[in-house]
Amino acid sequence: MCGIVGYVGGQSALDVVIAGLKRLEYRGYDSAGVAVLADGGLAAAKKAGKLVNLEKELVSRPLPAGSTGIGHTRWATHGGPTDANAHPHLDNAGRVAVVHNGIIENFAALRAELAERGHALRSETDTEVVAHLLAECHSATGDLAEAMRQVCRRLEGAFTLVAVDADEPDVVVGARRNSPLVVGVGEGEAFLASDVAAFIDHTRSAIELGQDQVVEVRRDAVTVTDFEGAPAEVRAYHVDWDASAAEKGGYDYFMLKEIAEQPRAVADTLLGRIDAAGSLTLDEIRIPATELREADKVVVVACGTAYHAGLIAKYAVEHWARIPCEVELASEFRYRDPILDHRTLVIAVSQSGETMDTLMALRHAREQGARVLAVCNTNGSTIPRESDAVLYTHAGPEVAVASTKAFLTQLVACYLLALYLAQVRGAKWGDEVRAVIRDLAGIAEEVERVLETMEPVRELARSLAAKNTVLFLGRHVGYPVALEGALKLKELAYMHAEGFAAGELKHGPIALIEPGVPVVVVVPSPRGRSLLHDKIVSNIQEIRARGALTIVIAEEGDESVVPYADHLVRVPATPVLLQPMVSTVPLQVFACELATARGNEVDQPRNLAKSVTVE
């Protein structure tokens, strides 16, 4: 949801900022813009559409060279994706420029107030008011950081702001409330960015900013205060991945690379969490065992793909740890007055750690006295910072907007958590826990095997490029997998795609089946819960009798589905609860290939942004 970069140092600010924006384009791609301080003044350029449009504009109308600058790539909220609404926004004198991520909720009142004082506002954005307010405060104080503090005290909503002022050519100032902002500290240079990926080519030393803080960066100094001006505590950290992790590495799309990285991501997420004896060691869960024993329910809150991981976690938590588990869309959670207290364990699942709905849900849970444990992929992000404990997934940076490797690692983390709860609460014996861990430890290899057999899935996807609808059916843990398969297809192929619990079919959705409609069916293992398996085999027959084109995902050796499958996708046999680890992968490949076949942009689907930092 908008990417922001700020730079001050010895290099060309424009080059550094543009390169940083390229790394942040996954956050939004409705427009892009830059501003540099040069020759005692400020020069800016901005353009609707992707960053490439701005780059073309800079070739035909170059900006003067300067070593302090800011940039922005936008996911539009207030005001359409036009040149005028693109950031940076400037004050009327053209001396102050500001970029913003978030929503300023009281902008209408501020706008009216500024208009009364004679300011001419030129865009429809909520952001522009900040440029004008900063200019007023700066002319009164002569200090951009102080001006930023004064302005922030007047703003309501969520915002990361980064600003420069032509009167302070060696300074970039940022502010953060609810939206992400990190500082990169280099040799004689400093960076501000929504995500470390923007400066990873230059430095791996980062500083995590807290809530309601203002930062002033110079070439050799970083000063952080709260909105009142009191010095603030910050956490410095080393980014533990390098620039190559944020590059395509020979793949056509980040999504393809990230799908291929799944075996490693799964293995990395298990690393260090299993001891030599094969037992679980989750030292990072700092919630005392007594509290985990006393917890009387688990509530998982998350959005989108992370929510689907949560739905699967429910099966594992209830089956292994024997504790009731609810799963809720974070965007709905706090509005329905959920029953929470100190005996509720809330698990907030988020790849980015910045999803506003999930953040608000966890804040609500903590206000009610619940303990919150984050499952997160982004070190230092807001959701783990505000949680009681965190279990990091080690997927590495996920750049493609559609989540793949983050999902599989979220599943691993949720399985580990469920087992840990089972261990602590005595719901499973040590050797039972170790047996599941052995299965989990073998899963990375099984994912690798699935990846090696995906060519027929790609071929099938290409053959369906002209279809309008694809339906997905599943039962038990296969149901959330069906939902995830449908979500991937919607967001990438822009097709009507829906996931159903197969048992619900006859209660309505079967009316959607007409000759030729492709239906993907995720078949549970015939072992263990064979009743479930047999029921879904009946469901396949029911839809096939009505003309559906059946695409059946079933484990190796399950021969009972063969007569009813127009297309059969084999996945390795796994324990029932772990099947989503292998059955999701063909659905990711299917959606990616269908999107390509339909000429869609795989990494940057329309209307979307990777990190949803507004509600």
Binding site for ligand F6R (CB under 6 A): 303-306, 350-352, 355, 358, 402-403, 487, 491, 611-612
- 125 DSSP 8-state letter: -
From the candidates 22, 46, 428, 610, give the one annotated as an active-site residue.
Answer: 610
β-sheet bridge partners, residue 500: 473
d(CA 429, CA 110): 62
Cα–Cα dist 283/296, whole Å: 22
Considering the candidates 2, 137, 152, 592, report the single residue annotated as catalytic.
Answer: 2
**Least gap, CB of 366 to ligand F6R (angstroms):** 17
Q: How far apart are the first and last CA of the chain?
A: 11
Alpha helices in 386-529 (DSSP H): 405-424, 430-452, 455-463, 478-493
Closer residue to ligand F6R (CB): 98 or 265? 265
Q: Which is nearer to ligand F6R, 299 or 612 (CB)?
A: 612
Minimum distance from residue 442 beta carbon to ligand F6R (Å): 26
In what helix (H) or strand (E) does residue 366 lie, and over which residues does it extend?
A: helix 356-367
| Complex with ligand F6R: residue 4 or 487, whichever CB lies closer | 487
Least distance from ligand F6R to the Cβ atom of residue 314, Å: 17
d(C-alpha 169, C-alpha 89), whole Å:
17
Among 154, 147, 166, 169, which residue's Cα sits nearest to residue 225?
Answer: 147
Q: How far is the CB of 68 from ligand F6R (least distance, A)?
A: 31
Closer to ligand F6R by Cβ: residue 304 or 499 = 304
Q: Is 510 helix (H, G, I), strand (E, B) or coil?
A: helix
Q: Where are the alpha helices (DSSP H) in 117-178?
A: 128-141, 144-152
Considering Cα of 346, then 352, then 354, then 356, what sign does the dihedral take?
negative
**Smallest separation, CB 160 to ligand F6R (Å):** 16
As a dihedral over the C-alpha atoms of residue 544, residue 549, residue 551, residue 556, rounded to 10 degrees, the angle is 50
Of residues 126 and 491, the one with the C-beta less far from ligand F6R: 491
137 is annotated as an active-site residue: no
Q: Are 172 and 162 in contact (CB under 8 A)?
A: yes
Shortest distance (Å) from residue 307 CB to ligand F6R: 7
Residue with Cβ nearer ligand F6R (6 or 605) = 605
Give yes or no for a contact between 34 and 63, defined as CB atoms under 8 angstroms apart.
yes
Shortest Cβ distance from residue 330 to ligand F6R (Å)?
Answer: 8
| Residue with nearest beta carbon to ligand F6R | 304
Write the CB contacts of 486 (distance below 8 Å, at least 6 apart in sequence).
Answer: 470, 471, 472, 497, 498, 499
Nearer to ligand F6R by C-beta: 91 or 593?
A: 593
What are the residue numbers of the active site? 2, 610
